[in-house]
Amino acid sequence: MLSDVTTPQDLDDRFRETLAALATPPQRRDPARPVTDDTTLTGARALDLFDAQATSRQLDLAGRWLRSFGEGFYTIGSAGHEGNAAVAAALRATDPALLHYRSGAFYCVRAAQADRPAPPERPEAERPEAEQPAAADGPVEADPAGTGDDSRPDAADPDEPTGGAGSVAARPLAPAYAEAARDVLRGMVASSLEPVAGGRHKVFGRADLAVVPTTSTIASHLPRAVGMGLAVERLRRLETSGRRDGVRVGSGGGAAQASWPPDAIVVCSFGDASVNHASATAAFNTAGWYDHTGLRIPVLFVCEDNGLGISVRSPRGWVETTLRSKPGVRYFAADGDDLVRAYEVATEAAAWVRRHRRPAVLHLSTVRLMGHAGADAETAYRSAGEIAADLDRDPLAGTARLLVGAGVATGEELLARYDEIGWQVRRIAEEVLDEPKLSAPAEVVAPLAPRRPVRVSRAVADAAARAAGPGAAARTEAFGGRPPELTGPLTLAQSINAALADGMLDHPQMAVFGEDVGVKGGVYGVTKGLRDRFGAARVFDTLLDETSILGLGLGAGLAGMLPVPEIQYLAYLHNAEDQVRGEAATMQFFSQGAFRNPMVVRVAGLAYQEGFGGHFHNDNSVAVLRDVPGLVIAVPARPDDAAPMLRTCLASAAVDGSVCVFLEPIALYHTRDLYADGDGEWLAHYAEPGAWTGGHVPIGRARVYGVGSAEDVTIITFGNGVPMSLRAAATLADEGIGTRVVDLRWLSPLPVADVIREAAATGRVLVVDETRRSGGVGEGVIAALVDAGYVGAARRVAGVDSFVPLGPAARHVLVSEEAITQGARTLLAR
């Protein structure tokens, strides 16, 4: 008697009862033939998919078994979602896939596909009229169901069995399925031998399968998928024109070297509850927005709809209504419990996206069996009738009925097959139990953010050599005959602009994008002229959504580009922080460097703008960024620091796959003077390429200014604090006090060695922190000093724990020169 909860035993018992009740088919069908008259899915292929579904189911059961004695650490399974095997079968092994956590069957199929090349698509002229691509600027009507498509990967494999009593039960489990099972089980037990995350998390991912790991339980990976689609299409066009520039997936730094084919499409899956998440809304909106403009993005979204988000129901009809209403995104729907229909519709959807290079969504109805996870008591929010109804829709049982009804197998044979797979999965589970776990902090963080400063320095030197040598003529032409080193002293904004141009010249795969960066040249003119020099394909305006901007960067970086997105104001970054924290910074950590998303995010930020105030344009909060492991945060204060620091960030992204935030102080963009009006002391000459190597600024190295004797007090600061501290130091020098002003330049990683050395030189440290007292940069500096055993005097001058108000009121909450001067005097009076 089954209970009212779908426990592993319930599910297993019900499946066995179903197979036992299946009547023996009156005659056997050749597995090389389609299983029904209205499909191209052969019996042999359906048997393969049954194996994938059964492997996935047995993995779920094994996960619960491992958890029962404390050796399994992940119990969210795929039971009820095994219909996604049909989606995988409709795709190619070279289509990059970002999968949610109920993708066991998909992963098994992808593993089996990896060595089987897809048949070529028919030439355009040979396709029936219904298959011809629609005009780029016209409406696209649905292809009628069942239109022939020879690109479907469903042709019978000559090596597959072709019938005979008992042949089904005798079929060995495909080695690829066993390998996929081992991958998943290693993730469950946190084995350090797991091929992608190495025991850091349970993910579906492998570089050689083009499966990009994502740990998201919601839809935060969807914006990345849109960015990947945009980049895949751009690279396809470059390859078609013979100008791909050798860009490859994960190029450099030991990352995956396999490039995606020109006609690849991106697939990403998510649950029905996630359709409500802001990240999903952003992704659909961005895909549709670009489609509306005529820019093609080949992405297939797959919404696996089991009607529940843990315990919260999706209102009946809501998901379909939501997905159908997305402008520019073609809608397809299928029953995931029906293998034939799921396969046919998924094949149609994938072929449509591949052919038209446009976004689509496949709405796949599913069920959820065994609850959300091991600890989920479904009876708290579901009736016994609902649970029983879902058991009746078990997709694995549905595939078994299909095979028996088609005369491809008997219920007895399939049950034997199911048990054989179960035995092999359990055996693998027992084997991985004894595998090593991560055993030391250094081992855990090793792939987080590799730093190879010598290689980065060499990359800067190589860029200098190219700019001064073979690229000199192109560089002169790009700058209109007058390179920036010949134009006289520059402001911070002008120096960044010139460095961006030099970066674009040296990195053919680099792209600059964001709100207003193209035609307008940025709201502060920092990107002015770049679009005219490098074209709209490399410098372009985006829609107004920070999540989408960062998602485009994440996907583009993963596809082999070097993205430089701009977030218009620091306050706007907070709308999209998870794209940096949960998506960008985790990629190398959860793939052991097999996948990278190199990116340099330019952000205009910090306070002290005169005449244009208020919180959103004067945000001084960087705590959320400094809390992200592995993230590089650069804050240039001077023009002659900005260019070399930006070159370092670009080189680090290209060499190490780093994710860098280049935080530009708005108030210093156009500053020219330091001590008095007209002195021009905050301008600086742009270094010629021959001087780039000598002026290289490594990540995590500070700049030190000596004022007076520089023996009495050390001021440690950054950003706007640098000119204020230098002016305060000049005042102190008139009083006979010598000051060392240390510009951190890098907020993560902090230049700890420089800080300790300069603090020890005077024994008195004043930390000038323009962020806030709570959660500000100053806390990190003081903590670093304490950890290093510093025993001298120290105090802080920091911003008040407040948002920045409008107008003169801002002066009451921000650091002032007077406060710096008084702080130093107080420190000296101790």
> What residues act catalytically?
617
Question: Nearest Cα to 210, choosing from 121, 110, 350, 109?
Answer: 110
Q: How far is CA 495 from CA 151, 477, 633, 669, 677, in A?
A: 51, 18, 18, 9, 21
Which tokens go with 565?
């997105």
Residue from 343, 339, 340, 335 nearest 396 by CA: 339
Please give the Cα distance from 750 to 764 (Å, whole number).
Answer: 19
Which residues on neighbouring strands pair with residue 741, listed in sequence order?
705, 715
Tokens of 825: 């005097």
For the chain, the maximum distance between any two Cα atoms, rounded to a whole number of angstroms, is 105
Angle, helices 43-68/175-188, rounded to nearest 10 degrees: 20
Q: Across-strand partners of 212?
A: 98
Please check whether residue 233 is in contact with residue 260, taking contact to mean a CB–CB distance below 8 angstroms. Answer: no
Q: Kindly list the distances between the CA atom of residue 205 and the CA atoms of 153, 283, 419, in Å, as whole numbers in the listed order.
A: 22, 21, 27
Q: Which amino acid is located at 468 in the chain?
A: A
Answer yes or no: are the C-beta atoms of 34 and 40 closer than 8 Å: yes
406: tokens are 């088609």
HEC profile for 368-404? CCCCCCCCCCHHHCCCHHHHHHHHHCCHHHHHHHHHH
567 phi, psi to nearest 5 deg: -100, 120
Contact 733, 739 (CB under 8 A): yes
How far is Cα 126 from Cα 659, in angstroms, rounded to an integer? 46
What does 728-794 look like in DSSP terms, one character per residue?
HHHHHHHTT--EEEEE--EEES--HHHHHHHHHHHSEEEEEEEEESSSSHHHHHHHHHHHTT--SEE
Q: Retrieve residue 541's tokens.
A: 């305006």
CA–CA gap between residue 681 and residue 610 (Å, rounded): 19
Question: Burial, 593: exposed, middle or buried (Cβ in 10 Å; 0-12, 13-18, 19+)?
Answer: buried
C-alpha 536/C-alpha 539 separation (Å) is 5
Token match 């070529």: residue?
A: 120
- Answer for the pair 690, 680: CB distance below 8 angstroms, yes or no: no
CA dist 532 and 525 (Å) reads 14
Residue in 700, 696, 692, 668 with CA at minimum distance from that of residue 681: 668
289-321: burial string, b at 16+ Cβ within 10 Å, e else: bbbeeebbbbbbbbbbbbbbbeeeebeeeebbe
Given a contact cutoff of 8 angstroms between Cβ atoms, the answer to whether 389 and 14 are in contact is no
Q: How far apart are CA 560 and CA 55, in angstroms?
A: 34
Q: Which two tokens stand for residue 79?
A: 């039971």
* CA-closest candidate to residue 79, choices 397, 411, 362: 397
DSSP code for 703: E
Please compute Rg for the chain using Cα positions: 30
Judged by DSSP in three states, 339 sits in helix
With both helix axes pointing from N to C terminus, report the angle between 411-432 and 8-21 in degrees, rounded to the nearest 10.
Answer: 150
CA distances from 586 to 16, 147, 579, 583, 679 (A): 41, 42, 10, 6, 46
- Cα separation of 304 and 282, whole Å? 19
